[in-house]
Structure 1
Amino acid sequence: MHVHGWIIYNGSLPGNKFVDFAEWLQEAALNRKTSAAIYKNSELSIMTGQTDLELINKQNFPDYVLFTDKDIYLARQLEMMGIPVFNSSSAIETSDDKIATYLALIKKKLPIPKTIIHPKIFENGLTDHSIISTAIQQLGFPMVVKEAFGSFGEQVYLIHNEEELIRKVKKLKDKPFVFQEFISSSCGRDIRLHVVGSKVAAGMKRTSSTDFRANVTSGGNMEAYEASNEEKALAIQAAEAIGADFAGVDLLFGPDESPIICEVNSNAHIRNMYDCTNINVADHIIDYILHKIG
């Protein structure tokens, strides 16, 4: 039986890194004598009828969808039409929201930095200053403020004093965010492990001498990294906690070098990992999917 897949990315975003990810996955599928077509999310319009869903401009359903976008509504509609979607809409939704991710991790009793979720406020609402006082008392300075939604290390801020914290909270207004413990032992360094199924396919250590964040996009350096059994097990548990079939899991170095989960990215790009390790994670992802739907 010939297997045919769809690879979906968001065509509205500038730059080529998003289509680049899709093309790596497509090449891996073609190398396995299967076919995979790449679509922008805008090319797959779905009409909701009185009782059913209908693809407007594509008639032949694929055997699977590899969803590299965050268009959760489209992913959910494809699932409702009976198409296997990797990662699932629920995994993408949880991963996209860092607060939801932390709650999923804590539910499984996995280690994360001490975190205080800022209460929801509306656009014209005012922050109760007592929550700021509580955050300072519990977490101290420096402190990390992290928006629930953001990528590539952006929307993450290192705060050094109360005045700076008050300014940042006022600027964020009604955006969801957390106050978080700053893990000083991991300043400017972390680990990215790419989990596929129940194994770690590749790993790299990222370091920065100029930023508390180690993201390569923010100017960090990278080197191949062989994770310990403890680090591998934690990364796999983190991906499983959000229901992801594959994910990039970022680990921090705790005070005693024990791993602490920083983030879980269900749509982690793979070019940097390949450049660093010469391991093509796309091959592992396609092999996993073909086995899963087999």
Structure 2
Amino acid sequence: MKNGIILYTREDYKKNQWFAERFIEEAPSQGMDIRLIFTDLIALGSENGRLFIQYGSERWDTPPDFAINRSRNSGIARQLELMGCRVFNSSVVTDVCNDKGKTHQLMNAHGIRSVKTLYGLSDWENHGMEYPLILKTLSGHGGNEVHKVDSQEQLSAFVAAYDGQILIQEMCQNPGTDIRAFCLGSEIIACVKRQSKDSFKSNYSLGGKAEAYSLSERECQLVMSVLSIMEFDFVGIDFLVDENGEFLFNEIEDAVGTRTLYQNYEMNIVEIYLSYIRNNLVK
């Protein structure tokens, strides 16, 4: 029996309790035992040249066999990895994919096209881009902290509100539509097309609609190009669609939501993911 943990913030667990409990309930059928762990009870420590984790009143000198990180916390993931625990997704994936600036930097460095994007600026007044702009915080997810900006006054207000931890982008010519590819390891599991008639945001959690989507051969090759850049476990890769129907890279969701997957496909992604984890632990 392999012993594992699933990491959540309390806020995310409240929103995703059903999904989290599926892992715990289905784990024994895969020869695993999984325990729910809340990140706010964790302290990372070191003593006498060795790392440990304090969890409430417990001290872990030996890590679990594996961890499913749904918390977006790369620091905890890194500590677990250094102690010998296999973490899904890795700390590197979590670190990069929860910083939109780092994600665009890496993807565009490998030739993956996106809309024009600026990040890491100190002088936001002279950005050289035309309004309207799309402004995002570097660490936002689920469509939160994404804004349409129509003027320098609005931009300045958001820069101050978010302490400059933002990026700005040209607005896609086909707003309100995106494609999400659910990927496990080096495979594409399924895709959905998300649309909103009322907003430039297509997120399902914000009222957008989703339907199953079949990738063309060209689109499939693009997703596979993204998958070749990092060693992902389970992620969602999002693309905008330009006025010519071509994909433009948007972002990668590390702790990807699965509601649209369950809504549009008859598959047990928890069972599939647990099987993937089991197979990777025996390598």
Same fold (TM over 0.5): yes
Which residue of 1 is the match for residue 48 of structure 2? 50
Which residue of 2 is the match for residue 145 of structure 1? 135
- Distance in 2 (CA, whole Å) between partners of 1:207 and 1:238 is 23
Given candidates 254, 257, 264, the residue that maps to 2:252 is 264
Given candidates 219, 240, 245, the residue that maps to 2:207 is 219
Which residue of 1 is the match for residue 176 of structure 2? 188
Would you say 1:22 and 2:20 are equivalent positions? yes
- What displacement does 1:69 show? 0.8
CA offset digits 1:202-232 (Å, max 9, x no partner): 2111111110010011110111222223333
Q: Percent identity?
A: 26
Which residue of 2 is the match for residue 123 of structure 1? none
The runs of 5 or more residues in structure 1 that have no matched partner are 121-126
Counterparts in 2 of 1:79 and 1:170: CA distance versus 1, 3 Å:
closer
Considering fraction of residues, name the structure with more strand.
Answer: 2
Q: TM-score, normalised by structure 1?
A: 0.86
Counterparts in 2 of 1:246 and 1:160: CA distance versus 1, 3 Å:
same
Which residue of 1 is the match for residue 8 of structure 2? 9
Moved more, 235-244 or 245-254: 235-244
Moved more, 58-67 or 266-275: 58-67
| 1:7 maps to amino acid | I
- What displacement does 1:29 show? 2.5
- What displacement does 1:166 show? 4.1
Which residue of 1 is the match for residue 126 of structure 2? 130
CA offset digits 1:230-272 (Å, max 9, x no partner): 3333234334435422211111112221111111011102133
Which residue of 1 is the match for residue 99 of structure 2? 97
| 1:89 maps to amino acid | S
Given candidates 143, 149, 158, the residue that maps to 2:148 is 158
> Secondary structure of the equivalent of 1:48?
strand
Q: TM-score, normalised by structure 2?
A: 0.89
Alignment of 1:167-178 (within 5 A): 167-172=157-162, 174-178=163-167
Whether the 8 Å contact between 1:145 and 1:158 is mirrored in structure 2 is: yes
The runs of 5 or more residues in structure 2 that have no matched partner are none
Residues paired across the two proteins, number: 278
Counterparts in 2 of 1:65 and 1:161: CA distance versus 1, 3 Å:
same
Whether the 8 Å contact between 1:270 and 1:282 is mirrored in structure 2 is: no
Given candidates 181, 191, 214, the residue that maps to 1:203 is 191
Counterparts in 2 of 1:4 and 1:154: CA distance versus 1, 3 Å:
same
- Over the aligned positions, Cα root-mean-square deviation in angstroms equals 2.2
Moved more, 51-60 or 152-161: 51-60
